[in-house]
Structure 1
Amino acid sequence: MYQLRGKLSIVMPAYNEEALIYNSIMQTLSIVEQFAPDLEIIAVNDGSKDKTKQEIERAIRDDAKQPHPVAPGMRVSGIRIKLVTSNKNRGKGNAIISGISQAEGDYIAFVDADLELNPAQLEGYLKKMQESGSDVVIGCKFHKDSELHYPFVRKVISLGYYMMLLVLFHLNVRDTQTGLKVFKAEAVKPVAHLVRTSGFAYDIELLVAVHRRGFKIEQMPVKVVYVRDKNTRRIGMSDIVKAFRDTWAIFYRVYFKHYYDEPSE
């Protein structure tokens, strides 16, 4: 059975997720500890107006009471969940960067609170990273082996965004927006503070920054299951417009300011 060597930090941003966040955290721990026993979840409450923060605190209390696998034949108790909280909603990008700053792992993964992307898929991503020597492994909805069960309009938006990024940044990453990603800490920590995008375009800014530093990015298939009901707010037109505007701002920082390049000595 595959076992990760090193510590894994999982950043899970959440905004108004009181109905989901407790079960998502506990389920993620239960799944991931099977192949990454040394792990932590950084749950980032992004200014939620509901009881998201309280549900995260409940998960912290309940998990601390449980024995945790750390190696074959050994079990100990301890704190595996960190809470990072903001008094106002600053956007998913800001939440992710806040989580990265608190991560202690050798590897840092992103998992969305709704678990549309099953965290069990992280096992294959980590194996791929160690076998191929890549520094970043991201989920790709356009991979031939991906299984997609989500609205057609989201597929169209993702494809259009990919074409735009290929032209602007020469970054041959077919899908930057899938929520499941794994980075080596040494690749993402030095550039995370450079990310200025607070919204959904943070993915491309982070990947561009990593790419500009010469790190290797691999893509893996994903299984996506759309779990939200029709009354739950998801990405709207205003979010899409802001993402395109932010993308052009990233373009300016890349080619006119060389903002993400390795500092010269």
Structure 2
Amino acid sequence: MNRPPTLSIVIPAFNEGRTIHRILDRVREVQLIGELAKEVIIVNDCSTDDTEEAVHRYIASHPNLPIRYHRHPVNRGKGAALHTGIEQATGEYLIVQDADLEYDPREYNELLQPVLDGFADVVYGSRFQGSKPHRILFFWHTIGNKFLTTLSNAFNNLNLTDMETCYKLFRTEMLQSLTLREERFGFEPEVTAKISRVPGVRIYEVGISYYGRTYAEGKKIGWRDGVRAIYCIVKYGF
């Protein structure tokens, strides 16, 4: 019997023991359009809290949600965790899902729709487009995101509004054809540059909600990651 088309949901996790069960609940509750099945791939990037125990408890108590768990023996960065998840994915489509609560899995279908309708190969979820809820936080982060997106657009000849978004949905085969090297937050500009150069690729963007975290609530990205992003935009843009 043939298996249904599947969405691989790749979740990189580092010290997310307090919230990972909540994001998994939300993933589990989503009913995907197109009769798609779910495949959840969690990559624990050598957390020092109880992330691993929380995941194992969740797997034991929710056997109907197909979860595959991987753990890095040393901390390597979000990009490295994504490389592992992408390599392990078997679904026809793939989306990145952070383990925190900043992005809403109920919006998967909005990203899937242009792909299932035959218009898109890649869909970015923009935090700066449309009328979805958007938590008001840091002025300079917003300016930084817009600067990085504009710089990326200039090098890659795109007109994205949110290059740094977590929510990026791909045809898995296309994503797996790329050679990705960045092991930290440089993943975003690198994958954008490389996917934009796939012959005939069709990239779309849809508006999404954003429930951002403060640093006290666990936000990890800092100014050094912004500097690295500029380097990656120039490096992979050329």
TM-score (norm 1): 0.81
Cα 1:150/1:42, change in 2 over 3 Å? farther
For structure 2, the residue ranges without an aligned partner over 5 or more in a row are none
Whichever residue aligns with residue 21 of structure 2, its letter is: Y
* Residue 196 (1) aligns with residue 181 (2): yes
Cα 1:99/1:237, change in 2 over 3 Å? same
SS in 1 for 2:62: helix
Query: Deviation per CA, 1:151-199, whole angstroms, max 9, x where unpaired?
Result: 13221111111121122222222211111121111221111xx111112
**TM-aligned CA deviation for residue 42 of structure 1:** 0.3
SS in 2 for 1:183: strand
For structure 1, the residue ranges without an aligned partner over 5 or more in a row are 67-78, 256-265
Measure the CA separation in 2 of the matches of 1:184 and 1:146. 25
Query: In the alignment, which residue of structure 2 is the partner of 1:60?
Result: 59
Q: Is the 8 A contact 1:140 1:146 kept in 2?
A: no
Query: In the alignment, which residue of structure 1 is the partner of 2:104?
Result: 118
Q: Is the 8 A contact 2:149 2:164 kept in 1?
A: no
Q: Is the 8 A contact 2:152 2:163 kept in 1?
A: no
Of 181-190 and 239-248, deviating more is 239-248
Query: In the alignment, which residue of structure 2 is the partner of 1:92?
Result: 78
Whichever residue aligns with residue 159 of structure 2, its letter is: N
Query: Deviation per CA, 1:195-232, whole angstroms, max 9, x where unpaired?
Result: 11112121221122122112111000011112446253
Query: In the alignment, which residue of structure 1 is the partner of 2:157?
Result: 170
Query: In the alignment, which residue of structure 2 is the partner of 1:206?
Result: 191
- 1:1-265 alignment runs, 5 A limit: 6-32=5-31, 38-64=37-63, 66=64, 80-151=66-137, 152-191=139-178, 194-214=179-199, 215-228=201-214, 230=216, 232-251=218-237, 255=238
- Percentage identity across aligned positions? 27
> Which structure exhibits the higher relative contact order, with contacts defined as CA atoms closer than 8 Å and separated by 6 or more residues?
2
SS in 2 for 1:148: coil
Q: Is the 8 A contact 2:26 2:106 kept in 1?
A: no
Cα 1:199/1:167, change in 2 over 3 Å? same
Alignment length (residue pairs) = 233
Measure the CA separation in 2 of the matches of 1:228 and 1:60. 29
Q: Is the 8 A contact 2:9 2:39 kept in 1?
A: yes
Measure the CA separation in 2 of the matches of 1:166 and 1:48. 34
Measure the CA separation in 2 of the matches of 1:6 and 1:222. 24
Query: Deviation per CA, 1:36-70, whole angstroms, max 9, x where unpaired?
Result: 55111101101111111121111211111x4xxxx
SS in 1 for 2:141: helix
Q: Is the 8 A contact 2:12 2:78 kept in 1?
A: yes
SS in 1 for 2:11: strand
**TM-aligned CA deviation for residue 27 of structure 1:** 2.2
Moved over 4 A (4+): 32-37
Cα 1:146/1:157, change in 2 over 3 Å? farther
